[in-house]
Structure 1
Amino acid sequence: MIESKAELKRLAEVAVYAAREAGKIVQSRSDTCFEVERKVAGDSLASQVVTEVDRMAEERILQCLEKGCTDFDLGVLTEEREDDGSRFEKSAFWCIDPLDGTLPFVEGRAGYAVSIALVSREGTPLIGVVYDPRSEVMYEAVLGCGALRDGEEMRIESETAQLSVFSDRSSREDSKHKAVIDSLAQEFGGSGVSQIYGYGAALNACSVSGSPCSCYFKLPKEKRGGGSVWDFAATACIVTEAGGIVSDLAGEPLLLNPRGALFMNRRGVLYASSRELAQRIRSAHGQKT
């Protein structure tokens, strides 16, 4: 069991090392041929694609985290292995996405990352680490200790008149998502909203932590999908510690240790650079549904 902030920080250092190690594997295979498979997951192609690189990176992460799991009696939840239920039995668990943004990785473009979080049994993100191996950028945070980008303190700056909306590529065809964007555009002015598509969930969310007026959201929907716990656990810690807002579309905390399905489609997810912007998005969603 983790008993101090110092122990959390030591575990964060191990997670940073594990992310870099996995990133080396990912980037070393980025320009080579590798096996691509489809798995049973959400309703989007991005959630269904998996490669041998995902599994290789995951194995390396688990090797790096193994001693900490033993020393502190931690559970593990990973994208590419069956949920063993240890997240309900231990005081905290590692939540791992070895290659978030597998689709951009397969397509040879920017947008993929390694994501590692430590989450309490109650669902509070304690540690968040996201590593972009393509640009070699490291995001990290520990609960109550702030957020870092490549070792430098990261804090969301004052709001500006220009709104940046980071969105999954699948959102282009989502009429409800477009309706919320249109509503925001009316408030900010048509030229005051820029939309950035194509990153995986981890880098979309991390982009909010580095932009003065920005957001990333996935609306609730009936079909399973909307990302899974491991897509958001690390960035929930990072963005919150950078001064941003993280919630579902009802304004409630994200369920990061849920019973049953691990998908987020029922309640959606919302990252925003300020409380005011988050409320604007929730209001726009409420008006359009």
Structure 2
Amino acid sequence: MLAVFERLALDAGRVIMEVFHSKMTVEEKADCSPVTEADRAAEKLILEGLRAEFPDIPCVAEEEASEGIKAPALGRAFFLIDPLDGTKEFVKGNADFTVNIALIRGDVPEIGVVYAPCSGRFFSGRPGRAETITIGEDLTIAGRRKISVRDGRTPLTIVASRSHRTPETDAFIRKIEAAEIVSVGSSLKFCLLAAGEADVYPRFSRTMEWDTAAGDAILRAAGGTTKTTDGKPLVYGKRNQTHDADFANPSFIATGRVSGAPWF
């Protein structure tokens, strides 16, 4: 399954980069967020691939959801797909957008890939092993290296959203003395923690499960955690929520190995 994820992510990345280097058309969705032909083409490619390989596993994908296509009954396992996470950065010409594909099993993100086609950074995770993948000039996999979270350092390195900073995020950062701040877009924030390049990712603005599942799977495979602000693990497959839409996440804090964390 992970090999299929990796192949589809690379293929989706090719489609996305063709649009990135052309004159793209940007539309506005019902929630006022942008969408481009790259989002739709990449999602179509990924969904066709997953449904052909794994016809019995339901798919939940961002653009289908935004178009009002009702998500199927999920069962114990299902896929979450964000074909182009960081569309705002993509439209601005920034490089931090990613392709995200994840398997959820029993409300836990179990397998995931995150591919940043502009920079070539590629991460994957499965239970017990997270890797960074080297992409060759022909856009095929040329090598792999195991990664893991690091022990928290002084000062801690916090990764924060470039487009979604909130007063709550700034207040959280102020609580951590002498923290070093790195701004990066999309699900790469989880991956920097997984690769031992950062320590904490606080998120106090709204996300959807397809935004976080793949990066979260990689972080957990690397030894990290993602918890809600009451200290409970972030779960997936959330539907019929009285306070928010299906698949919407609460605030959360993702971490590597940070001893004596002051925020729970």
TM-score range, shorter chain: 0.7 to 0.9
Match of 1:230 among 201, 210, 221: 210
How far did 1:212 drift?
A: 5.1
1:206 to 178, 184, 191: 191
Tell me, yes or no, if the aligned pair for 2:152 and 2:258 is still in contact at 8 Å.
no
Q: Are the counterparts in 1 of residues 148 and 196 from structure 2 also a CA contact under 8 Å? A: no
1:1-289 aligned at under 5 Å gives the runs 11-41=1-31, 48-70=33-55, 73-82=56-65, 83-88=69-74, 90-120=75-105, 122-143=106-127, 145-150=128-133, 151-172=144-165, 174-185=166-177, 189=178, 193-200=179-186, 202-211=187-196, 213-219=198-204, 226-260=206-240, 261=245, 262-264=247-249, 267-276=250-259, 279-282=261-264
Contact 2:84–2:98, Cα closer than 8 Å, also in 1: yes
1:18·1:64 contact (CA, 8 Å) conserved in 2?
yes
Name the CA distance, whole Å, in 1 between partners of 2:197 and 2:152.
Answer: 5
Checking the alignment, whether the CA contact within 8 Å between 2:199 and 2:255 is kept in structure 1 is yes
Distance 1:87 1:268, change over 3 A: farther
Which protein has the bigger helix share? 1
**Contact 1:77–1:87, Cα closer than 8 Å, also in 2:** no
Question: Structure 1-normalised TM-score?
Answer: 0.80
Deviation at 1:27, TM superposition (A): 1.3
Identity fraction in percent: 28
TM-score (structure 2 length as normaliser) = 0.87
Equivalent residues of 1:158, 1:212 under 8 A apart: no
CA distance in 2, matches of 1:87, 1:227: 22
Question: Do the aligned partners of residues 52 and 213 (structure 1) sit closer, same or farther apart at CA in structure 2, a change above 3 Å counting?
Answer: closer
How many residues are treated as equivalent by the alignment?
246
After superposition, the C-alpha distances for 1:122-162 in whole angstroms (9 at most, x for unaligned) are 3111211111101222111112x310111210112333213
**Structure 2 CA distance for aligned equivalents of residues 176 and 84 of structure 1:** 33
3-state secondary structure, aligned to 1:169: coil
Return the offset for 1:108.
Answer: 0.6
Q: Name the CA shift for 1:212/1:105 in 2 (closer, same or farther; >3 Å).
A: closer
Q: Give 2:185's aligned amino acid.
A: Y
Q: RMSD of aligned C-alpha atoms?
A: 1.8
Q: Matched residues in 2 for 1:240 and 1:87: separation? A: 26
Considering fraction of residues, name the structure with more strand: 2
Unaligned runs of 5+ in 2: 134-143
**Residues 173-214 of structure 1: per-residue CA shift (max 9 Å, x gap):** x222211111102xxx3xxx22122411x1111111123552
Relative distance call for 1:170 and 1:106 in structure 2 (3 A) is: closer
Within 1, Cα distance between the matches of 2:183 and 2:258? 23
CA deviations on 1:82-124 (whole Å, 9 max, x unpaired) are 3533242x3311100000011111111121000000112x311
Runs of at least 4 residues of structure 1 off by over 6 A? none
Listed as ranges, the gaps of 5+ residues in structure 1 are: 1-10, 220-224, 283-289
Task: Confirm or deny: 8 A CA contact 2:163 2:185 kept in the other structure.
Answer: no
